[in-house]
Structure 1
Amino acid sequence: MTRLSSAFAKGHPALVCFITAGDGDTAANLDALVEGGADVIELGMPFTDPMADGPAIQEANLRSLGAGTKTADVLLIANEFRERHPDVPLVLMGYANPMLRRGAEWFAAECKGCGVDGVICVDIPPEEDEALGPALRAAGIDLIRLATPTTDAARLPAVLEGSGGFLYYVSVAGITGKQQAALDSIESAVGALKASTDLPIAVGFGVRTPEQAGAIAEVADGVVVGSALVELVGEHGDAAPEKLRELTSALAHAVHNAR
C-alpha cells in the first residue's frame, strides 16, 4: 500500500490538513499538524494568482511570496518533512505555472525525489491531462483531482480517468474558506461519487470547526481543513505551532470518532 492509501485504511475517516509553504515557520507548523493527528498533509505552493482560494489563503500566498519563497524552497520543505515523517502522506497543492515552468518531467522527478505522494493542480482540467498527468503517474505520484457540485454524470468519467490517491470533493461552487454546503447535499454528492469510483472521497472548502468536520466525516472518507489553519499562521506568527496543534487535535478527535 502507498502512504496515501494507508491513510484512508485506518478504520476511521482521514483528516487532511493544509497550510501554505513559506508562510511562517513551515517546518514547525507542519510538525504541529502531524503531532495534532493529521492523517494527510497538503502543502500549498505559493502563487501570485490563487484563483480558487479565498482571502485567508490568498494572504498566505502573498506573505510567502513576499518572504521570497521559490519552488525550490517548497521542494526543500517537502524533502525535509519526508525525512522527519517517513510515513505521513504529503500532497503538494497549487497551480500549473510553478509546476510546469521547467517541464512536467522535471517537476515529477523533483516530487519523487522529495518523497511527495500526490499532487493537486487546481487549474489543469482533466481534458488537458497530458500537460502533467502522464509525468506524475510515471513517477509513481498520484494526481488528485477535484469534483464539484457542478460535475455532472457526463463529465465525471473524465475527472476520474487517471485520478489517484483520493478524490477531492469541493463541497461549494466557490472559493476556499467562505461558505459551507449543507450536510444533506454533501451526503448526496458523496453517495453519487462512491457509486462511480473506489477512490476515497475527501470533502473540503468551508470546513472550519471540529463540529463541521465531524458531521462531514459521518458520510465521507476524509475531511479537508485549510483556511482555518492558515488563519492561525497569519494571526499568531511564531506562536502558530501551538495553536495549530490544538485545533488539529480537536479536528482529529471529531473526524476519527465520527462513526
Structure 2
Amino acid sequence: MEINQLSSLVIKFETADMVGAPFSHQILLKMQFAGQGIGVDFQIAYIDREDLSEEEILEEGFSLNDDYSWKGQIDNAWLEPIKEILKKTPNKFNHKALEEEMNFFEIEVNQQSAGNPINQTDWEYFLQELIQAIYETSQKEAPFHLEYRRIDKDKNVKNFELNLYYAKRQAEGINSIGKTDSKPITWAQANAIIQQVFIGEFIPDAALKNEPKHTGKYISVGDGYWYEFTKSLKRPNGNKGYLTELEKTFDPWVD
C-alpha cells in the first residue's frame, strides 16, 4: 500500500465468534501523525460477560473490569515500522465472509482506504506490539522481562536476561548472574526469541515459585514462575524439536 503522506490510521479488532467470555474483546485504536510523537486514542472492551459469575471471571485470571482506555502519545520510534507494514499491505482488501474461527480486523488509512488487510496475521501481531507500547507509555504495565537460566552438573550457573522496552521500541540483553554486561541485540532478534518462546506449552501448576537451584534449564517470563524444560515447559504438539531449538537459541547468549 503506497502512502505518500500518512496522516491517520484506525485499527478495529474483535475476537472470533468461537472465542467465548471472559476472553472475547473488542479493540479500537485511532492514531494521528502530526508534530512530535504519535497521537493515540485507544480502547479495549471485554464483551459477552453477562452470563458469567464473578467467580468464573476471576478463575480465568481476569478482574471484574478489564476494560481500558487511554489518550496520549507514543514514541516516534513506531512511525517507520507502521509505514513498513503499510508498504507490505496489498492495496486490495480481503472481502471474504468471516468464519467462526476468524477474528474481525479492519484498518482505515487517511480516512479513506478501509477494509480487512490480506496480511491480517502480520497486522494482528503488530497490533499486540502497539498495545504493549501503549500499556508501557501509560504505565499500565512494566516493560517485558524474560530470563533464561542454565544450571550445569557442576552447579555452574549461566543466566541471560532479555528486556523489551516497547515504549521506545528497544531491546536489551544482559548475561551472567550479578553482572550488568549488555549484549547487543536488535528489536528483530528479541522479537524472534519471544515468538519462539511462546510457542511452547507453559504449565504453571508444575513450575517453580522460587529461583531454581538444581541442574537443568529454566525460563521465567515475568509471571512469577520458573518453567523447567521438559517438566513445566513442554513442546507444542507436532513440534518435536522445539526444546532443542530453544536451547540452541539461548545457549550462545550465556556461553
Q: Under a length normalisation based on structure 1, what TM-score does the superposition of the two structures give?
A: 0.24
Q: Under a length normalisation based on structure 2, what TM-score does the superposition of the two structures give?
A: 0.24
The one of the two structures with greater contact order (alpha-carbon pairs below 8 A, sep at least 6) is: 1
Higher helix share: 1
